[in-house]
Structure 1
Amino acid sequence: FCKTFDREYQPGTPEYESRRAVFNNNAKQVEKLNAAADGHEYSLDMSPFADLTPTEFQQKVLMPPKAAPKHGHSYMQAPRGPLAWDWTEKGAVTSVKDQGYVGSCWAFSTVGVLEGQRFIKHGILESLSAEQLLECDGTSDPTREYADCGE
Structure 2
Amino acid sequence: MTERHKLVLKNDLSELQRLAQWLEACGEAEAVDPKTLFNFNLALDELVTNVVSYAYPEGGEHAFSVELWREGGRLIAMLVDDGVPFNPLEIAEPELDTTLDERKIGGLGVHFVRKLLDDVRYSHEDGRNHVRLMKHLSV
Q: Shared fold by TM > 0.5?
A: no
Greater RCO (CA < 8 Å, at least 6 residues apart): 2
* Structure ID, larger Rg: 1
TM-score range, shorter chain: under 0.3
Report the structure, 1 or 2, having the larger strand content.
2
